[in-house]
């Protein structure tokens, strides 16, 4: 039997969503949850208001921006923004991964906005920022989780834009700083950077986005769950004061509250980002020691430090068909999962055959360091077989 001398990670949750719980998390932390109570009760509203308050503190959200929660996680939050805000101007959608393509399909095929231009990756597989026209509404995924691309250098966004920027910040929020002054309508969830439970989406609106809401009436009917305005076309202020349209799970609210308190206690966004970079650099350092794998995104300027995508570059692997590459990746990930070394580190099946390791702030650096030799072990074990 093969002797294994290196340690296992204490927490093997390296998947890109839902992600590792905050350090030290236990179910008992949720013992004060308002079970079987209305979210509209005084206590329920107070809990939701506390979540909204801590969100502002942890993420440094400007006071004049509006923040609310919606049922349905980040997907529902993004869809809400599209249904409520689009239709006034032409639209450009930056498509850098599977999710960017999904948003493009929604705009073109569901909302049927004909004046919609897709800006896909160029021949070097990099974003085409130079083609962005800020006379239009611009949609982008800040951290493209299935391609490993991030647009953290936001110098391409025009401070004097005429259109709105609509940002899917799902795999960026909490893990990296968000440039609020350049984001008009932002959506994300708690389940990634904060390691909280799925099912609740967050919406953040700039004053400019609020103005659009109140002055623009879309030609399509807006489903009740997506409505951010009153019947008179004014912003529904109650939604941003803790009175939500749809009943959230108070268990999820309690879990988000616990995670936000943890984030605030360690130093909020600044410390969360430092933890993310520390984790990313562990993988970067390890890659210098092995010849069979590298970052999927060659340019560090565009490389995500959160959803770190790694491609196998061994010559024998490159000769395989795409299906065979995926089969090998699945075997690799299954082997590590069976050993309880790493769960859910396979990239999205519709994307490039690759590994995808979450390096967000709830992952402990010590666990990532312990994971690295196991990746090498799994590679050589499968190659030998």
Q: What is the CATH number of the domain that holds 165?
A: 3.40.640.10
In a domain, 227, yes or no: yes
Residues 88 and 169 in one domain: yes
From the list 302, 305, 65, 23, the residue with the least C-alpha distance to 171 is 305
Residues 273 and 334 in one domain: yes
In a domain, 240, yes or no: yes
pLDDT of residue 40: 84
Structure tokens at 64: 């004049």
Structure tokens at 182: 């350049």
Q: ∠57-61-62 over CA atoms, to 5°?
A: 115
Nearest-angstrom CA–CA distance, 323 and 34: 48
From the list 170, 203, 167, 174, the residue with the least C-alpha distance to 69 is 203
Query: Which of 216, 234, 265 lies at the terminal end of a domain, its last residue?
Result: 265
pLDDT tops 50 at residue 1: no
pLDDT of residue 2: 60
For residue 18, cis peptide bond before it (omega within 30 degrees of 0): yes
Question: What is the β-pairing status of strands 137-141 and 165-168?
Answer: parallel
Single pTM value for the model: 0.96
In a domain, 8, yes or no: no
State the burial class of residue 281 (Cβ atoms within 10 Å of its Cβ: 0-12, 13-18, 19+): middle
Residues 235 and 274 in one domain: no
pLDDT of residue 37: 86
Question: What is the β-pairing status of strands 307-312 and 355-358?
Answer: antiparallel
Which are the contacts of 75, defined by CB distance < 8 A and separation ≥ 6?
201
pLDDT tops 70 at residue 271: yes
From the list 104, 107, 147, the residue with the least C-alpha distance to 299 is 147
pLDDT of residue 316: 96
In a domain, 54, yes or no: yes
Nearest-angstrom CA–CA distance, 20 and 273: 16
Query: Beta strands of the chain (E only): which ranges?
Result: 66-71, 91-95, 116-120, 137-141, 143-144, 149-150, 165-168, 185-189, 200-205, 293-295, 307-312, 355-358
From the list 327, 331, 297, 332, the residue with the least C-alpha distance to 311 is 297
Total domains present in the chain: 2
In a domain, 149, yes or no: yes
Nearest-angstrom CA–CA distance, 224 and 233: 14
Phi-psi region of 5 (alpha: psi -120 to 50; beta: other; left: phi over 0): alpha
Residues 122 and 150 in one domain: yes
Nearest-angstrom CA–CA distance, 333 and 310: 13
The DSSP bridge partners found for residue 343 are 13
Full residue range of the structural domain in which residue 352 is found = 267-382
First-last CA distance in the chain: 15
- Write the pLDDT tens digit of every residue in 303-325: 999 999 999 999 999 999 999 99
Q: Running DSSP on this structure, what letter comes out for residue 269? A: H
Q: Among 12-26, 33-47, 233-247, which is the least confidently predicted range?
A: 33-47
- Write the pLDDT tens digit of every residue in 107-141: 999 999 999 999 999 878 889 999 999 999 999 99
Residues 151 and 261 in one domain: yes
Residues 99 and 159 in one domain: yes
In a domain, 3, yes or no: no
Query: Which of 250, 265, 280 lies at the terminal end of a domain, its last residue?
Result: 265
Task: Give the per-residue SS3 of 135-172.
Answer: CCEEEEECEECCCCEECCCHHHCCCCCCCCEEEECCCC
Query: Which of 231, 265, 299 lies at the terminal end of a domain, its last residue?
Result: 265
Q: Tell me the pLDDT of the chain averaged across its residues.
A: 95
Residues 216 and 347 in one domain: no
User: Quick one: pLDDT band at residue 172, thresholds 50, 70, 90?
Assistant: very high
Residues 237 and 92 in one domain: yes
Residues 261 and 277 in one domain: no
In a domain, 354, yes or no: yes
Residues 104 and 233 in one domain: yes
Nearest-angstrom CA–CA distance, 380 and 385: 9
- Write the pLDDT tens digit of every residue in 61-99: 999 999 999 999 999 999 999 999 999 999 999 999 999
In a domain, 332, yes or no: yes
Q: What is the CATH number of the domain that holds 286?
A: 3.90.1150.10
From the list 182, 149, 148, the residue with the least C-alpha distance to 167 is 182
Tell me the average pLDDT across 28-48: 91
Residues 117 and 235 in one domain: yes
Residues 279 and 237 in one domain: no
User: Quick one: pLDDT band at residue 3, thresholds 50, 70, 90?
Assistant: low
């Amino acid at each position: 039997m093969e002797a294994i001398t290196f340690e296992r990670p204490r927490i093997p949750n390296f998947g890109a969503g839902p992600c590792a719980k905050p350090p030290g998390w236990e179910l008992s932390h949720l013992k004060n949850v308002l079970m079987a109570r209305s979210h509209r009760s005084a206590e329920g509203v107070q809990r939701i208001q506390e979540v909204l308050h801590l969100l502002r503190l942890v993420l440094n959200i400007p006071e004049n921006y509006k923040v609310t929660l919606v049922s349905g996680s980040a997907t529902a939050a993004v869809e809400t923004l599209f249904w409520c805000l689009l239709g006034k101007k032409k639209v450009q959608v930056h498509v850098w991964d599977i999710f960017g393509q999904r948003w493009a399909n929604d705009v073109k095929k569901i909302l049927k906005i004909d004046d919609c231009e897709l800006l896909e990756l160029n021949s070097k597989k990099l974003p085409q920022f130079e083609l962005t026209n800020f006379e239009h509404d611009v949609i982008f995924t800040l951290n493209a989780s299935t391609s490993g691309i991030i647009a953290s250098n936001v110098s391409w966004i025009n401070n004097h834009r005429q259109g709105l920027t609509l940002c899917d910040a799902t795999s960026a929020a909490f893990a990296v700083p968000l440039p609020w002054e350049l984001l008009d309508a932002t959506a994300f969830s708690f389940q990634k950077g904060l390691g909280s439970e799925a099912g609740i989406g967050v919406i953040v609106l700039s004053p400019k986005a609020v103005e659009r809401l109140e002055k623009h009436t879309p030609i399509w009917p807006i489903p009740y769950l997506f409505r951010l305005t009153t019947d008179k076309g004014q912003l529904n202020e109650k939604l941003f004061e803790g009175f939500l349209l749809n009943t959230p799970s108070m268990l999820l609210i309690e879990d988000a509250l616990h995670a936000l308190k943890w984030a605030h206690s360690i130093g909020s966004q600044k410390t969360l980002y430092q933890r993310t970079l520390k984790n990313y650099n562990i993988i970067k350092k390890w890659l210098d020691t092995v010849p069979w794998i590298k970052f999927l995104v060659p340019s560090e300027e565009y490389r995500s430090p959160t959803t770190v995508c790694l491609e196998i570059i061994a010559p024998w692997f490159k000769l395989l068909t795409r299906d065979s590459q995926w089969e090998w990746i699945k075997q690799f990930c299954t082997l590590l999962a069976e050993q309880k070394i790493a769960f859910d580190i396979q990239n999205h099946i519709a994307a490039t055959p690759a590994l995808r390791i979450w390096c967000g702030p709830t992952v402990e650096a010590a666990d990532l360091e312990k994971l690295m030799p196991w990746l090498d072990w799994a590679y050589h074990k499968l190659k030998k077989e």
